[in-house]
Amino acid sequence: MSGTRGLESFRLGYVTGAASGVGLLYWTSIVVMQFGGLSLPVGLGVMFLLCLAVALFPAVFGWCTARLLRAFGAGGLMLAPAVWVATEMLRAYTMFRFPWCLLGYSQYTQLPMAQVASVTGVYGVSFLVAMSSALLAYAYLVRQDAGGAHRRALGGLAAMLAVVWAHGTWTMSRALPESGRVRAGLVQASILQDDKWDAAKAVENIERHMVLSRAAAAEGATLIVWPESAVPFPIDRFPETAQQMRGIARETGAAVVFGNDDLERTADGTRIWVGAKMIHPQAGLVYRYHKNRLVPFGEYVPMQWLLSLGGRATLRLVSAVADFTPGTEASVGTFAGHTLGTSICYEAIFADYIRHFSVNGAELLLNITNDGWYGTTSAPPQHFAMAVFRAIENRKWMLRAANTGITAFIDPRGRVVSRTQLFETRALVGEAAFVPGLTLYARYGDVFGWACVAASVLAVLRAYRQKS
C-alpha cells in the first residue's frame, strides 16, 4: 500500500475508465456512422476518442487516491468517495460538459437509496456508492488488525446503508403538497430516424401524432405532449402547419406541447434553435422554449478549430453536424393556472440545469426527446435512468415524451408509474400532480459536489505536506 505510485495508479484508472467508457458509450460509433456518414474505422475512432477523454477523470481519481494512501495509510480510503465525486463534478463542468452515466445513476431502481438526491443531487448517491466500496476495501486491508478495525468498518457500512435505506423508505411514504392535478397524454409515434427527416413523409408523420392525440383526448387528457422535433417545419414560416397545430388543440380541447425548431435569417446568416412550443386550444401559441444544452458532436461540434486540423475525416464530421444556437434561459410556461418547464432531450442529464425550471416556478417538469438515433442500444435506458433522478432532485412529476421510447410518467420520488417499451406506438395517458416549492437541491444546487471538490483539494495538499 505504501508503495503505490501515483503514475501507476493514474495509468490503472485511465485503463479502467477507458474500458468502462467503451461499455457505456459504444453506441456513439453507431450514431456517427449511421447518421453522420462516417466509415467504420472513423466511427470507431470517434468513439474511442470520447472514451479516452472520459477516462481522464477516473485516472485523476486513481492518482489522488494513491497519494492519499501513501500519506494516510488505509484510512486514506475514507477520503476516496469525496475525490470520486470531485472528478464527477469536473466531468460535469469542464471540457464539453458530459456528465453521462455518473456512478449514482446505478441506483435509479433502488429508490430508497436515491432519495438523498433531493438534498445533494445525484452526486450524493455517487458518494454513498463510493463510500460503500471504500469501506469494503478498508475492511479487507485491515483484516489482520487486532484492534477490530475490520469489524468496525463492516459495521459502519451496515449502519450507513440501514440509515439511508430507512430514511429513504420513510421519505417515499410521505405525501407531497399538491396545487392541482392534470390528466396528460404522452405521444410516442415511433417514427424511425430515417423517416423522421424525410420531407415526403413529414405530413404523414405529423398526422400519426394527431391520431394518437385524439386517442389521448378520448381518455380525458387535457395536456398532450409530443416528443422532440415532432413537427419538422418551423411553424412561424409555415402557416399551414401552424394552422394544423391550432386545429388539433381546438379539436381535442387540450393544450399541446410539441418539439419544433425555430429559424431566423439575418444579414449575418441563419440561426437555428432546437425548440419546444405549447399551443392552447383558445389562446393559440402561449409558450416557446429554446434548448440551452446542446449535444456535442450532434447539435454542435466543440473545439472545431482543433478538429479541423485532423484532415478530411474530422472535417467531414464537423461539416456533417448541424450548428444550432443555444437558448439562454430555463423559461417556463403556464397551463391551467399552473407553471411547467420543458427540457429537451440531452438537457435531462444536467441536474444543475433542470433545477432552474423549479427555481423559475415550475410545478411540473416535461422532457421531450428523440432517442431514435440510438436504436435498441443501451443509450435509451441510460438516458431514461438520468431523467428519473431529475424528478427526485426537484420533487416534481416528470412527464417524458420520447419519439421511439422510453415515454413515461415519473412521480416526485422517482417511481415509474407507467411507461412504454422501445418502438411501441402508443399514447400513454395518466394523471400527474403540480407540486409547488423547492427542494434543498433545487434551491442551492451542487453545494455538496463543490464541497467534495474543496475537501479533495485540501486532502491532496495535506498529503503532499505529510510526505514532505
| 406 cis-preceded (ω within 30 degrees of 0) | yes
Q: Which is the catalytic residue, given 88, 345, 363, 393?
A: 345
Q: Indicate the residue type of 264.
A: E
CB-neighbour burial class of residue 215 (10 A; exposed 0-12, middle 13-18, buried 19+): middle
By C-alpha distance, which of 231, 232, 233, 282 is closest to 255? 282
3-class DSSP assignment, residue 113: helix
Q: Measured between alpha carbons, how far is 104 from 97 in angstroms, rounded to an integer?
A: 17
**Contact yes or no for 424/416 (Cβ under 8 A):** no
Q: Are 242 and 276 in contact (CB under 8 A)?
A: no
424 carries an active-site annotation: no
Between CA 128 and CA 281 the distance in angstroms is 47
**Cell triple for 453:** 471538490
The SS3 assignment for 448 reads helix
From the list 150, 31, 100, 123, the residue with the least C-alpha distance to 386 is 100
Question: Which has the closest alpha carbon to 401: 258, 290, 262?
Answer: 258
Active-site residue (options: 88, 196, 228, 277): 228
**Quick one: the chain helix, strand, coil %, rounded to 5?**
55, 15, 30
* Whether residue 396 lies in the annotated active site: no
3-state secondary structure at position 414: coil
228 counts as catalytic? yes
Selecting among 64, 291, 347, 396, the annotated active-site residue is 291
Closest CA to 87 of 98, 76, 78: 98
Pairing of strands 416-419, 426-434: unpaired
| Residues 352/372, Cβ–Cβ less than 8 Å | no
Category of 184 on φ-ψ map: left (φ > 0), alpha (ψ -120 to 50) or beta: beta
| 408-410 vs 398-402, strand pairing mode | antiparallel
Task: Quote the distance between the C-alpha of residue 306 and its chain's center.
Answer: 27
Residues annotated as part of the active site: 228, 291, 345
